[in-house]
């Protein structure tokens, strides 16, 4: 089958000792490349209720996961904690589930991400550490890819990265909240927005978002009541198509007084490029940025 990368997906999950099964409505697809609210909610509820299911992972991203929020059974979800992971549009679900239930969730690789034949190793290792270990550290990578790998696995050219950009020096330890910025902002004003008090925010966006959109989306988030208690900010690597520069980010960050006294680091290995590390939403992050050195450590609970 053209573009069929499932052999890599199956092999990688089997290597972790995991067997894949799929929701009853996983093959539904409407004109908006999604499916009905009823179908998606039914699949989620069935997976959480099934004692034989240890984890739930999104197949791919999209645009409308926030449609599901009014219809989710929060008591059912809270009573059945399990790995719950995905990224991009999944940001709403990961943060909402944590906000409403207190459960740890993950912003990380999709099911489809595991179909990347080459240059996948750091992503896979970070996913396993986040879901199988209590504490783990991030080693910054020297290369990344930003391509339509799922359409062409053979002609891929890794790009060099100059590593993390320290926009503000400092040390921070706090709760992990975040993911895709414009998607996280969809939770504002509702009962599914997590508290920003005492957090290290992890934010990224895709190639359709340039510096102007990122600036106003960040400003919107920082105007929430508890934003003054943010302890640190980590920004994921932008896709090349967004054309966001370090100079632009330095200007954006410098405009906000509440960020002047906290560490701010950008160009990190998460977001819509590869490799991407997995964020434990509701977990704990230690971020240290001094000189040219950035260290980042995660754990499932605060120390």
Q: What number of other Cβ atoms are within 10 A of residue 291's Cβ? A: 7
Please report which confidence band the pLDDT of residue 303 belongs to, taking 50, 70 and 90 as the band edges.
low
Average pLDDT over the chain reads 96
What pLDDT, in 10s, does the model give residues 79-104? 999 999 999 999 999 999 999 999 99
- Would you state the structure tokens that stand for residue 293, as one six-digit string? 């050195």
How long, in residues, is the chain? 303
Q: Do residues 145 and 156 touch, judged by C-beta distance below 8 A?
A: yes
What pLDDT, in 10s, does the model give residues 194-207? 999 999 999 999 99
Which residues make up the CATH 3.40.50.10740 domain(s) of the chain? 5-132
Catalytic residue among 242, 272, 274, 286: 272
Please report which confidence band the pLDDT of residue 1 belongs to, taking 50, 70 and 90 as the band edges.
very low
At 296, is the secondary structure helix, strand, or coil? strand
Q: Would residue 143 show up in a list of annotated catalytic residues for this protein?
A: no
Catalytic residue among 88, 113, 242, 274: 88
User: In this model, does residue 280 exceed pLDDT 50?
Assistant: yes
Please report which confidence band the pLDDT of residue 212 belongs to, taking 50, 70 and 90 as the band edges.
very high
Q: Would residue 140 show up in a list of annotated catalytic residues for this protein?
A: no
What pLDDT, in 10s, does the model give residues 2-48? 457 888 999 999 999 999 999 999 999 999 889 999 999 999 999 99
User: In this model, does residue 302 exceed pLDDT 80?
Assistant: no
Q: Would residue 204 show up in a list of annotated catalytic residues for this protein?
A: yes
Over range 146-163, report the average pLDDT.
92
Q: What is the dihedral of CA 37, 82, 96, 262, to 10 degrees?
A: -150
How much is the pLDDT for 3?
A: 54
User: In this model, does residue 133 exceed pLDDT 70?
Assistant: yes
Task: Provide the percentage of residues in the chain whose pLDDT is more than 70.
Answer: 99
- Paired strand residues for 289: 170, 294
Task: Report residue 287: phi and psi, to 5°.
Answer: -120, 125
Cα 183 from Cα 139, distance rounded (Å): 27
Cα 100 from Cα 151, distance rounded (Å): 38
How much is the pLDDT for 19?
A: 94
Over range 108-123, report the average pLDDT.
94
CA–CA distances in Å: residue 229 to residues 149, 174, 261: 40, 10, 11
Cα 89 from Cα 211, distance rounded (Å): 20
Catalytic residue among 35, 98, 204, 256: 204
Over range 112-125, report the average pLDDT.
94
**Pairing relationship of beta strands 232-237 and 165-168 according to DSSP bridges:** unpaired
Q: What is the DSSP letter of 225?
A: G
Over range 275-299, report the average pLDDT.
98
- Paired strand residues for 204: 180
Q: Do residues 96 and 195 touch, judged by C-beta distance below 8 A?
A: no
5-132 has CATH 1.20.120.420 classification: no
Which CB contacts under 8 angstroms, 24+ apart, belong to 47-53? 47/23, 48/76, 48/77, 48/80, 48/82, 49/76, 49/80, 51/80, 53/21, 53/82
Superfamily of domain 135-299: LD-carboxypeptidase A C-terminal domain-like (3.50.30.60)
Which residues make up the CATH 3.50.30.60 domain(s) of the chain? 135-299
H or E element in which residue 201 lies: strand 199-204
């Amino acid at each position: 089958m053209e573009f069929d990368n499932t052999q890599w997906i199956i092999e990688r999950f089997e290597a972790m000792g995991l067997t894949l099964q799929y929701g009853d409505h996983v093959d539904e697809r409407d004109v908006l490349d999604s499916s009905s609210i009823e179908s998606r909610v039914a699949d989620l509820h069935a997976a959480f209720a099934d004692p034989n299911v240890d984890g739930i992972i999104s197949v791919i991203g999209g645009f409308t996961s926030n449609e599901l929020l009014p219809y989710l059974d929060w008591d059912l979800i809270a009573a059945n904690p399990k790995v719950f992971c995905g990224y991009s549009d999944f940001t709403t679900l990961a943060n909402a589930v944590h906000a409403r239930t207190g459960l740890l969730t993950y912003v990380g690789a999709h099911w489809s991400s595991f179909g990347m034949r080459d240059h996948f190793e750091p992503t896979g290792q970070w996913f396993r550490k986040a879901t199988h270990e209590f504490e783990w550290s991030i080693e910054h990578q020297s290369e990344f890819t930003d391509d339509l790998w799922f359409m062409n696995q053979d002609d891929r050219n890794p790009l060099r990265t100059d590593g993390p950009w320290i926009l503000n020096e400092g040390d921070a330890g706090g709760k992990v909240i975040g993911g895709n910025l414009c998607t996280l902002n969809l939770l504002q004003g509702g009962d599914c927005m997590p508290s920003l008090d005492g957090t290290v925010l992890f934010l990224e966006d895709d190639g359709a978002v340039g510096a102007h959109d990122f600036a106003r989306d960040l400003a919107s988030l920082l105007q929430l009541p508890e934003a003054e208690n943010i302890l640190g900010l980590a920004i994921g690597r932008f896709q090349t198509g967004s054309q966001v520069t370090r100079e632009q980010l330095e200007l954006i960050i410098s405009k906000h007084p509440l960020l002047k006294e906290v560490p701010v680091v950008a160009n990190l290995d998460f977001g819509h490029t590869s490799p991407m590390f997995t964020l434990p939403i509701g977990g704990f992050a230690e971020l240290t940025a001094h000189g040219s050195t950035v260290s980042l450590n995660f754990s499932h609970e605060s120390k």
